[in-house]
Amino acid sequence: MAKKALNEAERKMEELVSLCRRRGFIFQSSLIYGGINSCWDYGPLGVELKNNIRRYWWKVMTQERDDIEGLDASIIMHPRVWEASGHVSSFTDPLVDCKRCKHRFRGDELDGENCPDCGGELTDSRQFNLMFKTFIGPVEEDAAVVYLRPETAQGIYVNFLNVMGPSRQKIPFGIAQIGKAFRNEITPGNFVFRMREFEQMEMQYFVRPETDDEWFEYWKEKRMQWYLDMGIRKEKLRYHEHGPNELAHYARRAFDIEYEFPFGWKELEGIHNRTDFDLSRHQEYSGKDLSYFDQELNRRYVPYIIETSAGVDRTLLTCLVDAYDVENPGQKDERTVLRLSPKIAPVKAAILPLVNRDGMPEIARKITDELRPHLRIFYDSGGSVGRRYRRQDEAGTPFGITVDSQTLQDETVTLRERDSMQQIRLNISTLKEELLKRTAM
Ligand code: ATP
């Protein structure tokens, strides 16, 4: 039973990966050279989806609030940052090699004593640092070593005072950032779930030390709600609290938001109570005072930090997995549909002339031109209308607008809804408003 379920799940993942390639969501990087393991490129639909996910996070985390400011810090930072953060000494995974087949594993992911691929003898595990190293400037010497950031958070901590001053924020307040991060993962995989180059959406919320528990609860709830508001199925989401052995060196408490992927329940986002660890360490290593004077309390302290740390790529994979559906498989009316929330769908509406004559394409073109400045839309006149609907269903386009013979008489069009396939008639003059309402974030 368990085996069958696994095969089913693997098949679903394979179908999704193939749909992503076929429809231009995601390609393997450098494919004409045979690809490069764990690096992926986002195609025309993928980049729209990714932009929409980022935009939705940014809107909820910054635009809708007056207590969170945005930041875009550089990827390469002073190397001392990573000493202060603990990454140089402890951002490691245990690496184990098979002496026979030479395959590599993460020691903490192995079940038995021997190689899971060939049964061969394994080496002892050694600690492998996941940070990518490079050199700054033309000389490749130890003094010039820098790292590609393995998380965006540190850029926020070192800018804590820079942001607080000009924005005139007082504690509690937060700083949000979206950006690339790099980890030389030992075992990347599961499509864009674990990559070596990926993107994070992180928010660090600075609070009074004694209020950390209440803010932690607040952000735990808020972040779960974000996934629900994006239409992710509730039964596929859960919290996982880190036990004492799982807690990172900086965390007092940590919850993951997990999603049930075809390959199991996995972390989507981490919510961490990082205490005053980060600011205290940066104070110590930089020699700069990063404490805060709280006028209300008439007291100086190093703020505590509640962190919410999500992956853009992992969220995108979650949205795709959750949305992917094949109706009536194997039958004549089989339909593959991506039930993406209209908020984040790459294309919001397809404009289709029923036939390529009688002035229908001209009207459809005119509607397209009118809507284009407001929404991402797609004009499609190729093939039967049924086939054109199916193509849009697969791309996750929530609405289809068809110009037919009735349009020529009364200036109405049909609006077809992707999930229910129901159609209503609307006057062309109300289309823009209707679509903006239905796709609003
Ligand atoms: P994991 O246990 O899966 O390695 P982590 O606990 O190291 O993850 P964090 O350091 O908390 O992850 O990173 C925060 C978020 O960044 C993760 O929840 C995930 O969404 C994303 N993320 C981390 N590593 C990767 C990766 N290699 N590829 C894609 N996304 C990642």
Residue among 401, 416, 261, 420 at smallest CA distance from 335: 420
Ligand 1 atom nearest the C-alpha of 202 is 14
Ligand 1 atom nearest the C-alpha of 266 is 3
Q: What does the pLDDT average to over 330-339?
A: 94
Whether the pLDDT of residue 2 is over 60: the answer is no
* Protein residue whose Cα sits closest to atom 3 of ligand 1: 267
> 147-178 in b/e burial notation, b at 16+ Cβ within 10 A?
bbbbbbbbbbbbebeebbeeeebebbbbbbbb
Q: Report the alpha-carbon angle 276-278-281, nearest 5.
A: 100
Q: What does the pLDDT average to over 64-84?
A: 97
Whether the pLDDT of residue 80 is over 90: the answer is yes
pLDDT confidence of 6, banded at 50, 70, 90? low
* Protein residue whose Cα sits closest to atom 4 of ligand 1: 194
Answer for the pair 25, 320: CB distance below 8 angstroms, yes or no.
yes
Phi-psi domain of 132 (left: phi exceeds 0; alpha: psi -120 through 50; beta: other): beta
Residue among 112, 103, 107, 105 at smallest CA distance from 94: 107
Query: How far does residue 270's CA lie from ligand 1's centre (Å)?
Result: 8
Give the burial class of 406: count Cβ atoms within 10 A of its Cβ; 0-12 exposed, 13-18 middle, 19 or more buried: middle
Multiple choice CATH, 347-439, 3.30.70.20, 3.40.50.800, 3.40.309.10, 1.10.1040.10: 3.40.50.800
Counting ligand 1 atoms within 8 A of each CB, the residue from 194, 224, 271 with the most, and so the one to mutate, is 194
Average pLDDT for the chain = 94
Ligand 1 atom nearest the C-alpha of 196 is 27
Joined together, the tokens standing for residue 356 give 């390529």
Cα–Cα separations (whole angstroms), residue 235 to 259, 269, 317, 406: 9, 17, 17, 43
pLDDT confidence of 296, banded at 50, 70, 90? very high
Please report the pLDDT score of residue 8 as a whole number.
Answer: 82
Whether the pLDDT of residue 5 is over 90: the answer is no
Joined together, the tokens standing for residue 393 give 């269903």
pLDDT confidence of 1, banded at 50, 70, 90? very low
Please tell me what DSSP assigns to residue 383: S
Please report the pLDDT score of residue 400 as a whole number.
Answer: 97
Answer for the pair 387, 393: CB distance below 8 angstroms, yes or no.
no
Whether the pLDDT of residue 157 is over 50: the answer is yes
- The secondary structure of 130-186, three-state, reads CCEEEECCCCCCHHHEEEECCCCHHHHHHCHHHHHHHHCCCCCEEEEEEEEEECCCC
Phi-psi domain of 161 (left: phi exceeds 0; alpha: psi -120 through 50; beta: other): alpha
Whether the pLDDT of residue 3 is over 70: the answer is no
d(CA 338, CA 321): 9
Answer for the pair 75, 149: CB distance below 8 angstroms, yes or no.
yes
Mean pLDDT lowest among 162-166, 382-386, 419-423: 382-386
Ligand 1 atom nearest the C-alpha of 256 is 18
Q: Report the alpha-carbon angle 231-236-237, nearest 5.
A: 85
Joined together, the tokens standing for residue 162 give 């820079």
Q: What does the pLDDT average to over 248-255?
A: 88
Please report the pLDDT score of residue 65 as a whole number.
Answer: 97
Evaluate the omega torsion of the peptide bond into residue 166 and state whether it is cis, within 30 degrees of 0.
Answer: no
Please report the pLDDT score of residue 309 as a whole number.
Answer: 98
Long-range contacts from 285-292, C-beta under 8 angstroms, 24+ separation: 285/80, 285/83, 285/84, 286/80, 286/84, 286/158, 290/160, 290/161, 292/164, 292/171, 292/206
* Protein residue whose Cα sits closest to atom 18 of ligand 1: 269
* Protein residue whose Cα sits closest to atom 6 of ligand 1: 270
Q: What does the pLDDT average to over 310-326?
A: 97
Q: What is the per-residue pLDDT across 274-285, written as a single tens digit (0 to 9) for each? A: 999 999 999 999
Q: Report the alpha-carbon angle 15-19-25, nearest 5.
A: 135
* Protein residue whose Cα sits closest to atom 12 of ligand 1: 270
Query: How far does residue 244's CA lie from ligand 1's centre (Å)?
Result: 19
The set of protein residues with a Cβ atom below 6 angstroms from ligand 1 is 151, 183, 185, 194-195, 198, 200, 267-270, 309-311, 313-314
Question: What share of the chain in percent tops pLDDT 90?
Answer: 86
d(CA 356, CA 71): 49
Joined together, the tokens standing for residue 280 give 């205290």
Residue among 150, 179, 202, 152 at smallest CA distance from 309: 202
Q: Which CATH superfamily is domain 42-79+131-321 in?
A: Bira Bifunctional Protein; Domain 2 (3.30.930.10)
pLDDT confidence of 268, banded at 50, 70, 90? very high
Counting ligand 1 atoms within 8 A of each CB, the residue from 196, 200, 256 with the most, and so the one to mutate, is 200
Query: How far does residue 311's CA lie from ligand 1's centre (Å)?
Result: 7
- Which residue is it, tokens 């993962």? 185
pTM for this structure? 0.94
Q: What is the per-residue pLDDT across 82-132, written as a single tens digit (0 to 9) for each? A: 999 999 998 998 999 999 999 989 998 888 889 999 999 999 988 989 999
Cα–Cα separations (whole angstroms), residue 316 to 46, 51, 185, 372: 9, 10, 20, 25
* Protein residue whose Cα sits closest to atom 24 of ligand 1: 194
Length of the chain: 441
Q: What is the per-residue pLDDT across 216-251, written as a single tens digit (0 to 9) for each? A: 999 999 999 999 999 999 999 999 999 988 888 888
